Structure 1
């Protein structure tokens, strides 16, 4: 009954609103002399203050309401053109630009308005579009979202093979990743080298890490929101790339003119032949992957749009035996994990200033580990899964230039299968199935953004969470303990952002956000694996929570040519999950006995300087960041670091990133990356003990030392040839060198029994040998061909 009343309230708020017709407005920009398309030309539309940049075919499209507009088109080295256009129907114009022989003031390369960033009360937000990502050098020639994000301040990972992003010292699972509104639990291909998203499918990437908008919840540190490109095209268009490691293909086409559109994006990678080139130890290894995104968009009428998005990804690895199970005769591990997501989005516009959005999501993540028997065709399979269904409603209203608000509600149902061991035909292995976990999270929310004056703006949001677990499947810590059936958690999550404009080009911002997390990833390694176990909060494992505070200064210099910002943050958190000494999570029904919940604190300062205009552009940023944990275990054997503060796995005090783009002409672009990071913490043995001719390390402290610093230099060169108007095929070549110096950046350090005089680097003068693992220890050269056909 409450949900019905809540939905009716949405409709009631929209009464009295009127709709306006919308039309498609498109621009094609070409060179006046050569008739070649001009990619990345800037299209500025007034008075709506909207616009963007042209694609590889010199084409830009936007939806506008009926009105008179001034269209301004600019491009580096060309004269600016302006047109006055009346939009009262679908309109198309072709703009031919003439080269400028005199020195011109350069233009902004980013489509994101700097003044919007300065004036908005939203703090700690980062926006990247596909144009920016394509400029950065990438491993194996495949430009990638995650590699691009790690060049921004406050964002790291745990090494070259990392299954996600760490934001401001948080763990990987504390960052919520949404792809067209659906969660993604395994976010990378090929041991972490690539993200699982086809590059051409992604239109925008938004990262929130301070006063996170109240429409988001479920994680305790940050939100990464990726949106799939809308396939609104007048005629079929094909894009793709051919590379050594992977190739992708994207198709966009109208199925019914002005009504139904389809976007299909896929990528496939076969790297079996490349793995032995990195190391002879990978001679028997295999690694194949694919991902695919399909989006149907239906324009029901002037006021309604419906889109259906399907996302599928799969990875298969074969490695020499890493994990083993008693009584299984196997020399290799095979890993197979897949994601299947579906999201249905209906948007109804009451007017230009008000809309109601309804989103339904179904997601399934299914990882499994396979142990082939050497003596037969039998396979022992360990599998698990995460089922996620959600229904999300939101009403948005712009009342005036000074006031806008939204209210909404989200319901999420979780269905976890923690682990099943299927022995197949093996008689020596006993099958095991852990109890399923089911939970329901209901979260109404609201947000108001108000400008008290031209200089003072604020955003105030509130989200309420109620989480209920199906307690029938809970297992107490000890067999004789009674069940605690009442497993319900609730809490308020206030969000606050304040922006004070000091002048036309500078502002100060403050922020606060409280967050809760009811689903967590449990692992006892440096970084969670795709097969790591996920766990819902229950009577014994409390939800994680955090309070984040932020303060920042932002300024635009040299008439908007240069951006400068400095942000400071502090976050205190509770119930962070970490493992007890000697913990083993594999098929453990009482997993609460293997973990400890700890307090956490993280703080830091981020400095950013970016040149966003001109043929020479790029950015440099520096981050000072600390992240610590502290346990409160009573038993001596359960204490982590003797209950003293210790550096978390993602504590990297110093990070320096620099990116430089040189655009020599319309045919050549050179890009350079440089990054330096403090070494990641790891644990050194405090002492040793000899047991039956074996030297065993004793670990009392945790993360009491650091690996060598991480640094890397990358280079890319993009060559484009003239794109004639009458040529339907357009292509370019991209040459990249990843890790130019061949730096052997350490991923982790391991102990092994020392043999004779081999491996003389030892700790504490003990017979223990130390072995440092470097994943990418040589330069990676790649050549990729990208093409567009329409």
Structure 2
């Protein structure tokens, strides 16, 4: 930690620029989103009275684009990345002109000085909402938190990750599973970030909630096709969640009270409107709900979580800003006296954003993160606690150079160090008869350099491409077992052991990752896009469960566990109708994967210092089609998505011990061919709404018992080929009502700031379907045949009520 602080301070000192003070930087270079035009918003007020100015003109003459402020003085205008001159005008006030350099969504508040003068006519042209057609990348999903606030949710909590599962190509194996799957990929193949800081578990309560507090989230972007070169280390997707930019002018407070959890956040400006502090917290109290269930095991169970956010921002001047982000979350889940899990996340991140010249911007970030987890069995002679986890250091310098509004070049370098926490077994209590045990875990470091270029060549062709190169080292202290050549790795084939000292390099991998995406404009409302991406992943989540548990092992690549590699091709057709009221798209993709981690039967994964003896290496294949129809405006809004997704694994070798399914490819655990989602929202008055979600997906594959035979009085099951059968299909209907008539309309904290509130009532799994999570077998004795049982996590309708308030 001391090294992190020292490195951060030194880097800040060496990168402090001497810049002109006449350009205002909006957003951050690291948040440039190729699939989304940045949104500039703000409030226009009278410089003396502070009252909002309604009808003020906001205009960019070069682009012939503008808007006007509403009754509260608020305005919004989308502008391409780059430098712009904005003119603010209103009758009776001085004309005001501001130079900005915009990278991503941000705010610019304006105070106008009154004066009587004549104003030339200004024609305002609003920009059409056609970014899905005009964007240059494939497979990108962008959502604002405001778009999902009215959707039905589990226990009333607005949730980023659960909303993603309603989009084409994103799904999960069911309630009770952590993470999500993108285009047939595994959960560990998704890079999930909070403000650019990686999270190794983004789930609360085994996936029923995510770790992102909705009061803090501004927007989120999911890259599932083309992944920009600035992101690396995962094969399937990148999810970056951006937090709200706290106000530097006024105090704000918001929160919500639900039947299972409550939350509160505050924005505190200080230091003469140069600094601001955001504090937010959320905690659950759901045990009382479990106590109402008739099942005695559930009644004796417990589930608890909390998360907290703190963000400090300081503007040194218009061209320099520093920030500090602190995040922490913790979960504890216990199922009766049988088993339980505990896990936590910690993030510490420093940022320095600088405008080095009029068209070159820099963002330096230094971060430290820790993921800790444990699983436990609290009763019996073998009651235990098993701990593991991982921590990381990351430093990144990201630079963006704007040639003009049609051409943006970005480049940078990134340094990552990962240190596995020791795997430690301890007795749960004094009555436990087990002995303590511990094994050390591996360490790694990565150095990556990258460059990307987004260039609008002409009116019909725009290209977004680049390259990333990474050098990876597995380093000591560690010991590596050597095995007999041309034989399966096992304890009996170990020949000797090589020991490595502190920081000594053990294994090295490297590789180029070219990435390119192009958009061909077919008409003002339609386009064709295509992309190719190569990605590499040097860390693996080791679990023999269908869905990773919080205690799954994060394992870095070693001499015996090679990095995963993927090549993905995507094409898509995008068409908007009726002045962008309707958005439609059809995308096709094909992905090949090398070095997938598979497992031998009855693999021992925990406390195994020769883990490679229980692992197998395979190849993967995924392909599919995604149809997306979205209605953006009107009394009814929402979307319909359908995805046909296939994903297969092949583990073949000349040695039968290293082969699965006789060397033939088989459906992966995540192969769910058909996924259909309908999301609909109906306005009820000015702010109230009714919403529904309807979800259908094919049951996932399982390996079942096909027959039984008896041997010396014992029934022996004969299993099918790997993943030959499927569990029942998944169907779920959710509805919600949001009532926002503002019962506090006659009360205010400030005359210009009324209290606003809303009430959300939702019903999750309205059809009360007993959807299967898995199928397992039990038998009562040696001579009886195993009987199949269906495991369901949520088999009943889950009602919830949440009250939200802000001022």
The answer to whether the superposition gives a TM-score over 0.5 is yes
TM value normalised by structure 1: 0.86
In 2: Cα distance, 1:308 partner to 1:406 partner:
23
Q: Aligned to 1:749, what secondary structure does the other structure show?
A: strand
Deviation string 1:673-716 (CA, Å, 9 cap, x unpaired) is: 11111111111124434356543323351111111111111111
Q: 1:719 to 1:242 in 2, by over 3 A?
A: same
Which residue of structure 1 aligns with residue 363 of structure 2?
357
2:676 is equivalent to residue 680 of structure 1: no
Which residue of structure 2 aligns with residue 760 of structure 1?
none
Deviation string 1:565-584 (CA, Å, 9 cap, x unpaired) is: 11000000001112111212
Q: Assess if the C-alpha contact under 8 Å between 2:58 and 2:87 holds in 1.
A: no
Q: 1:455 to 1:515 in 2, by over 3 A?
A: same
In 2: Cα distance, 1:398 partner to 1:619 partner:
35
Which residue of structure 1 aligns with residue 31 of structure 2?
none
Q: 1:467 to 1:484 in 2, by over 3 A?
A: farther
Q: 1:54 to 1:709 in 2, by over 3 A?
A: farther
Which residue of structure 2 aligns with residue 383 of structure 1?
387
Which residue of structure 1 aligns with residue 374 of structure 2?
368
Q: Assess if the C-alpha contact under 8 Å between 2:389 and 2:553 holds in 1.
A: no
Q: Assess if the C-alpha contact under 8 Å between 1:754 and 1:769 holds in 2.
A: no
Which residue of structure 2 aligns with residue 32 of structure 1?
none
Q: Assess if the C-alpha contact under 8 Å between 2:94 and 2:112 holds in 1.
A: no
Q: Assess if the C-alpha contact under 8 Å between 2:703 and 2:720 holds in 1.
A: no
Which residue of structure 2 aligns with residue 311 of structure 1?
327
2:644 is equivalent to residue 624 of structure 1: yes
2:264 is equivalent to residue 249 of structure 1: yes
In 1: Cα distance, 2:70 partner to 2:463 partner:
36
The aligned length equals: 732
Q: Assess if the C-alpha contact under 8 Å between 2:171 and 2:180 holds in 1.
A: yes
Which residue of structure 2 aligns with residue 737 of structure 1?
763
Q: Assess if the C-alpha contact under 8 Å between 2:43 and 2:109 holds in 1.
A: no
Q: Mark the runs of 5 or more structure 2 residues left unpaired by the alignment.
A: 1-6, 27-39, 46-50, 99-107, 114-124, 482-488, 501-505
Q: Which of these residues, 20, 23, 41, is aligned with residue 20 of structure 1?
A: 23
Deviation string 1:559-616 (CA, Å, 9 cap, x unpaired) is: 1111111100000000111211121212111111111111000000101111111121
Which residue of structure 2 aligns with residue 769 of structure 1?
787
Q: Aligned to 2:226, what secondary structure does the other structure show?
A: coil
Q: Assess if the C-alpha contact under 8 Å between 2:88 and 2:97 holds in 1.
A: no
Q: Aligned to 2:595, what secondary structure does the other structure show?
A: strand
Q: Which of these residues, 190, 199, 210, is aligned with residue 184 of structure 1?
A: 199
2:240 is equivalent to residue 220 of structure 1: no
In 2: Cα distance, 1:37 partner to 1:518 partner:
54
In 1: Cα distance, 2:477 partner to 2:778 partner:
44
Which residue of structure 1 aligns with residue 48 of structure 2?
none
Residue 554 of structure 1: how far off its partner (Å): 0.6
In 2: Cα distance, 1:131 partner to 1:45 partner:
26
Q: 1:52 to 1:535 in 2, by over 3 A?
A: farther
In 2: Cα distance, 1:54 partner to 1:167 partner:
40
Q: Aligned to 1:200, what secondary structure does the other structure show?
A: coil
2:304 is equivalent to residue 299 of structure 1: no
Deviation string 1:284-310 (CA, Å, 9 cap, x unpaired) is: 111111011111111111110111111
2:468 is equivalent to residue 463 of structure 1: yes
Q: Aligned to 1:273, what secondary structure does the other structure show?
A: helix
Q: Assess if the C-alpha contact under 8 Å between 1:484 and 1:539 holds in 2.
A: no
Residue 647 of structure 1: how far off its partner (Å): 0.6
Q: Aligned to 1:480, what secondary structure does the other structure show?
A: strand
Q: 1:633 to 1:612 in 2, by over 3 A?
A: same
Which residue of structure 2 aligns with residue 599 of structure 1?
619
In 2: Cα distance, 1:433 partner to 1:653 partner:
42
Q: 1:66 to 1:307 in 2, by over 3 A?
A: same
Q: 1:355 to 1:291 in 2, by over 3 A?
A: same
Q: 1:25 to 1:214 in 2, by over 3 A?
A: closer
Q: 1:164 to 1:584 in 2, by over 3 A?
A: same
Which residue of structure 1 aligns with residue 96 of structure 2?
86
In 1: Cα distance, 2:221 partner to 2:440 partner:
37
Q: Assess if the C-alpha contact under 8 Å between 1:275 and 1:283 holds in 2.
A: yes
2:181 is equivalent to residue 166 of structure 1: yes
Q: Aligned to 1:767, what secondary structure does the other structure show?
A: coil
Residue 43 of structure 1: how far off its partner (Å): 11
Which residue of structure 2 aligns with residue 286 of structure 1?
302
Residue 418 of structure 1: how far off its partner (Å): 4.9
Which residue of structure 1 aligns with residue 398 of structure 2?
394
Residue 18 of structure 1: how far off its partner (Å): 8.2
The two structures, once aligned, show a CA RMSD in angstroms of 3.7
Deviates more, 1:470-479 or 1:389-398: 470-479
Q: Mark the runs of 5 or more structure 1 residues left unpaired by the alignment.
A: 30-34, 73-80, 95-106, 321-330, 757-764
Q: 1:571 to 1:45 in 2, by over 3 A?
A: farther
Q: Assess if the C-alpha contact under 8 Å between 2:19 and 2:357 holds in 1.
A: no
Q: Which of these residues, 162, 167, 191, is aligned with residue 152 of structure 1?
A: 167
Q: Aligned to 1:487, what secondary structure does the other structure show?
A: strand
TM value normalised by structure 2: 0.84
Which residue of structure 1 aligns with residue 246 of structure 2?
231
Residue 92 of structure 1: how far off its partner (Å): 5.0
Q: Which of these residues, 134, 143, 146, is aligned with residue 149 of structure 2?
A: 134
